[in-house]
Amino acid sequence: MAELVFFTGTMDSGKSTLALQMDHNHRAGGRRGVLFTKQDRAGEAVITSRLGLRVEASEVTDGMSFWDEVVRLRTSGHEVDYLVCDEAQFYVPAQIDELARVVDELGADVYAFGILTDFRTELFPGARRLVELADRIQLLQVETLCWCGRRATHNARTVGGHMVVEGEQVLVADVRSEQSDAAEVEVGYETLCRRHHRERRTAAVANVLREEDQLLPFDE
């Protein structure tokens, strides 16, 4: 039986890497699939992972119909056994409904990958609909860590290293790397545990507080 499966985790938890690995494994097993993505950090019509993998994919627009696309491919002689849908949190809810219909009526598996919540801890509309409709939801086992060492559960948007909670829901940027200076990165993302997301305490803020605690009275 075909399934709609939603693979989810925080940023930097390996979602795109798993999406490309699954596509590779299914193709190696003789199945034929189609890759989709939306607003990948590297640009349009491509799925990239932070491990350096890069594969071309069809770019999803708000007006695109998954049903029409699969029907078009099949009627033109292309086999479609499964769909790999990366960055699915950015899809509009009606497209998630179409993916469920593709599974139920066309018998194609759909493997959707995305994050659940935005930088304000609110569900993305596409992710919410996937939670409502998916046959299975799988939390990725590759855990990301907060700067404090706890498991990261929330995605924080930062400006100059400081967490912000206002702005557009969708703003494509990458997570801050260990090599980058947070103060030099105007807009970025950082994964935090719930406590430090509530406190808005990013790695940059924590470093400043630690330095202040270490000051001796005559150093001030």
Residues 163 and 82 in one domain: no
Q: Has residue 144 been placed in a domain?
A: no
How many Å is the Cα radius of gyration of the chain? Answer: 20
Residues labelled as active-site residues:
87
The CATH number of the domain holding residue 31 is: 3.40.50.300
Are residue 98 and residue 173 in the same domain, yes or no?
no
- Is the residue at 145 inside a domain? no
Question: Is 148 part of any domain?
Answer: no
Domain of 203? Answer: 154-214
Query: Residue 214 contacts by C-beta under 8 Å, 6 or more apart in sequence?
Result: none
Q: What does the pLDDT average to over 88-110? A: 98
Q: Is the pLDDT of residue 177 over 60?
A: no
Amino acid letter, residue 24: H
Encoded amino acid at 87, one letter: E
Three-class DSSP labels, the chain = CCCEEEEECCCCCCHHHHHHHHHHHHHHCCCCEEEEECCECCECCEEECCCCCEEECEECCCCCCHHHHHHHHHHCCCCCCEEEECCHHHCCHHHHHHHHHHHHHHCCEEEEEECCECCCCCECHHHHHHHHHCCEEEECCCCCECCCCCECCEEEEEECCEEECCCCCCCCCCECCCCCCHHHCCEEEEEECHHHHHCCCCHHHHHHHHHHHHCCHHHC
Mean pLDDT score of the chain? 88
How many domains are contained in the chain?
2
Q: What is the pLDDT of residue 142?
A: 77
Give residue-wise pLDDT tens across range 186-195.
788 999 999 9
Q: Please, is 150 exposed, middle or buried when counting C-beta atoms within 10 Å of its C-beta (0-12, 13-18, 19+)? A: middle
Residue 146, in any domain of the structure: no
In a domain, 147, yes or no: no
Per-residue pLDDT band at 220 (split at 50, 70, 90) = very low
pLDDT in tens, 4-56: 999 999 888 889 999 999 999 999 999 999 999 998 877 778 888 877 788 89
pLDDT at site 213: 59
User: Whole-angstrom Cα distance, residue 136 to residue 26?
Assistant: 18
pLDDT of residue 44: 76
pLDDT-based confidence at residue 176 (cuts at 50, 70, 90): low
